[in-house]
A and B are shown apart, each in its own frame.
Chain A
């Protein structure tokens, strides 16, 4: 730990039930992985929100730069044909 006064920040992902994906639910401070897991359990699953927790130190996440949003995301805006909305789906197919 480089800074002993401030614990590093961790991102917390909780799976609410088996079969669903882990979802980002917030962040917290902890000195290491183990403490991050325990803190996540105590802070984010005390109302039965989860069956599994992932924690990852925030600095390990590579994020896109909002300044580049133009080149990153705008080119997709006029390409509606990429949405699978031009097919007729049978009613039996759910969750598409």
Chain B
């Protein structure tokens, strides 16, 4: 493939949204209330919409016969390059919102930078996605505050979720080979530059929610290189089931 770096770079962005979208989508019919259930599936659909634009573009760049669906459905676990954060399970609603919040803060600042990309397709996708992701952040930070500054039980659950997911936050700011190559060409976002503002923003919301910002300096990594936690395999088994069981099926 001629544009291998650009292809991998797009997957590095899109896989996060695909896997997070799948996580949120699996709450359909299982949300804590009808209203939050619909809210989570709305966010899931926003993310899947973004994913389609990215994968369609990636398929075009690949220049062979592969389609957006092949990219989404037919890769093996080690070929997905999403961050570990987004594949973490829906342990409870506090975890679901904490995962969303920790990703949304990153996602919004990432898209704001991606808008300035020299690559006009990526810049257009970013431009379209920003409004959706701004709402995701509004929704998730509201829930961080509600549960953090709620009852003793909700506070404890939210603190546990933030503590449990904290170890996956640093990876958001790691650079892959494709990242570095795309930054050099003015196409990619230098994620290392987003880190400081990210932790400031997160801390401000946690403070407001009366939650402690974890101090642990030990972080997990690997997702961006295809080395995942045990949770991704199960998620992919569900995501890919139809295509694996009935190859090329359409509806």
Contact = CB atoms under 8 A, between A and B. Distances in A.
Q: Do the two shown chains form a genuine complex with each other?
A: yes
A46 B38 contact: yes
Contacts of B151: 4
A42 B142 contact: no
B33 A42 contact: no
Interface stretch (A23-31, A56-64, A69-77, A88-96): A23-31
Interface string B29-51: 00001111011001000000000
Nearest to B33: A29
A34 B142 contact: yes
A31 B39 contact: no
Contact of A39 (B39, B135, B138, B146): B39
Q: Taking chain B's interface residues, is the majority helix, strand, or loop, or is none over half, making it mixed?
A: helix
Contact of B33 (A4, A7, A34): A7
Interface of A: 4, 7, 28-31, 34-35, 38-39, 41-43, 46
26 contacts: A4-B151, A7-B33, A28-B34, A29-B33, A29-B34, A29-B35, A30-B35, A31-B146, A34-B142, A35-B142, A35-B146, A38-B138, A38-B139, A38-B142, A39-B35, A39-B36, A39-B39, A42-B35, A42-B38, A42-B39, A42-B42, A43-B34, A43-B35, A43-B38, A46-B38, A46-B42
Given A38-B39, A42-B38, A46-B42, 8 more contacts: A29-B33, A31-B146, A38-B138, A38-B142, A39-B36, A41-B135, A42-B35, A42-B42
